[in-house]
Amino acid sequence: MRFPPTTLTLPERRLRDDVRGFLAAELAGRDIVGSDMSGGRDPEFSRRLAAKGWVGMSIPAEYGGRGGTAVERFVVVAELLSAGAPVAAHWVGDRQTAPTILAFGTEEQKRRFLPLIARAECTFCIGMSEPDSGSDLASVRTAGVRDDGGWRVSGTKVWTSGAHQQDYALTLVRTSPSGQDRHAGLSQFLIDLRGPGITISPIISLDGTHHFNEVVFDDVFVPDELVLGDVGGGWHQVTSELAYERSGPDRWLSTYGLFRSFLDAYGEHASDSVRDALGRITARYRTLHNLSLSVARMIDGGSAPVAEAALVKDLGTTFEKEVAETVRSLAGVAPDPDAADRFSRELAAATLMLPGLTIRGGTTEILRSVAARELIR
């Protein structure tokens, strides 16, 4: 396993500086707490970002994008998340639905969805997990039954982030019984969440917010034109979709806002132990930035660094939690979600979301197994 060091080219640096300038103007005066991709949602912001060409960047020009690279997206996303920009509306479409449609969709689906994603006018969520299917995703029971010109879908998805706000769910469905090969017989459907037969109920998170949902499909009709890729090819598609979910800046920046507030509040007259923590944590950020960038460059080079991405995601997500716990123990404030003090508020918000960081998108244990398999090969 090798992570070739790489650096940004001049045009990539220019892009970074442009995004920085745009965000400084956009976010001036906003009171931003946190820096997580599932934090703020502001469709208007997403559309202005899209107007700059910074949503769905990798979509080719013929489908309304700019034919950008994984590294360009890396640069934009790192700036967005570090600044705490409200990215939730376009996030999933940009990160994983667009590349999945591009790789597996029909010409008609590409023409229909990709331009909308690039304008941030159509939003997506991820319909993978179910009450009895978490890490063992191939065990999903939501079932599709063949009907005239399409499929009838019934079943329950859970933890569906943003289903109550987004337009479509890219949903993993069993379309033929699981036989010898558990990975066969799965398909991906693009399901319009506003259609009939769908009940979306909130599941409330630790911090009291409504972030994810239970989505119940009751005999929902999905026309053939919304079947993504091959019927029965869902496993291959969903595992490559998961690779897009891993190793990006979203996997190491979730508590960056908290760290920045810590630096603002405690940096100036820092004790030895605070300086030690500032130095060690910054060193880790720098190194994760470069590892994550290296994976993006490998993707642009045409390789599929699945195990590398899993390794970086494990490193990044365990680090995000360590950051919060380290600054907490050094600061010694009693965090209050409603405090006037910014650091206290950030700490309260971060602490309650920490447990999910090493669960979503593949747990620590699953990631380590993926990385180990490659290392032991």
Partner 1 sequence: MNTLTEIDRLLVDTALRLCADHGSREALEAAEAAGWSEQLWNALVESGLTRVGISEAEGGSGGTAAQAAELVRISGYAAAPVPLAESLLVGGPILAAAGISPPDGPLAVAPETGRLTVARRDGCWTVSGRIAAVPWARMAELMVALASGETGPVVVAVPLADAGIVPGRNYAGEPRDTVTVSGVVVAAPTPAADAGVDATTWRLRGALARSLQIAGALERVLELTVRHAKEREQFGRPIARFQAVGHMIALLGEAVAQARMAAETAAAGARPDDAAIAKIIAGEAATKGAALAHQVHGAMGTTRECDLQWFTRRLWSWRDEFGSETEWARALGAELGRGGAGRLWEVVTATPEEQR
Residue 298 Cβ vs partner 1, minimum distance, rounded to whole Å: 10
Distances (CA, A) of 19 to 81, 110, 260, 267, 343: 12, 27, 19, 27, 26
Of the candidates 104, 130, 117, the residue with the CA atom closest to the CA atom of residue 235: 104
For the residues of 254-293, what is the DSSP string, one character each? TTHHHHHHHHHHHSTT--HHHHHHHHHHHHHHHHHHHHHH
| Structure tokens, 169 | 């769910």
212 binding partner (options partner 1, ligand FAD, none; Cβ < 5 to 8 Å by kind)? ligand FAD
Long-range contacts of the stretch 174-177 (C-beta < 8 A, 24+):
174/140, 174/141, 174/142, 174/143, 174/144, 175/143, 175/144, 175/151, 175/231, 175/232, 175/234, 176/232
* Type and span of the H or E element at 165: none
Closer residue to ligand FAD in complex, CB, 65/361: 361
Residue 328 Cβ vs partner 1, minimum distance, rounded to whole Å: 17
Indicate which single residue of 94, 130, 314, 320 sits in contact with partner 1 (rule: CB under 8 A): 314
Does 212 participate in binding ligand FAD (rule CB under 6 A)?
A: yes
Does 14 participate in binding partner 1 (rule CB under 8 A)?
A: no
Does 363 participate in binding ligand FAD (rule CB under 6 A)?
A: yes
Tell me, residue by residue from 68 to 97, as one string, x for binding to partner 1 by CB under 8 A and - for no binding: ----------x---x---------------
Closer residue to partner 1 in complex, CB, 78/222: 78
Does 302 participate in binding partner 1 (rule CB under 8 A)?
A: no
Indicate which single residue of 46, 82, 96, 129 sits in contact with ligand FAD (rule: CB under 6 A): 129
Spatial CB neighbours of 224, under 8 Å, sequence gap ≥ 6: 149, 150, 151
- Rounded CA gap, 106 and 122, in Å? 18
Does 156 participate in binding ligand FAD (rule CB under 6 A)?
A: no
SS3 297: helix
Of the candidates 334, 185, 172, the residue with the CA atom closest to the CA atom of residue 238: 172
| Structure tokens, 187 | 């398909």
SS3 233: strand
| Structure tokens, 303 | 């390789």
Does 213 participate in binding ligand FAD (rule CB under 6 A)?
A: no
Does 291 participate in binding partner 1 (rule CB under 8 A)?
A: yes
Does 125 participate in binding ligand FAD (rule CB under 6 A)?
A: yes
Indicate which single residue of 27, 184, 263, 352 sits in contact with partner 1 (rule: CB under 8 A): 263
Tell me, residue by residue from 311 to 350, as one string, x for binding to ligand FAD by CB under 6 A and - for no binding: ----------------------------------------
| Structure tokens, 238 | 């969903």
314 binding partner (options partner 1, ligand FAD, none; Cβ < 5 to 8 Å by kind)? partner 1
201 binding partner (options ligand FAD, partner 1, none; Cβ < 5 to 8 Å by kind)? none
Does 215 participate in binding ligand FAD (rule CB under 6 A)?
A: no
Instruction: Tell me which residue has tokens 């989505």.
Output: 215
356 binding partner (options ligand FAD, partner 1, none; Cβ < 5 to 8 Å by kind)? ligand FAD
Say if residues 234 and 188 touch (Cβ distance below 8 Å).
Answer: yes
**Given the rule CB under 6 A, which residues bind ligand FAD?**
125-129, 134-135, 159-161, 212, 356, 359-360, 363, 365-366
Chain residues binding partner 1 by CB under 8 A are: 1, 3-8, 13, 16, 78, 82, 259-260, 263-264, 267-270, 272, 274-280, 282-287, 289-291, 294, 297, 311-312, 314-315, 365, 367-369, 371-373, 375-376
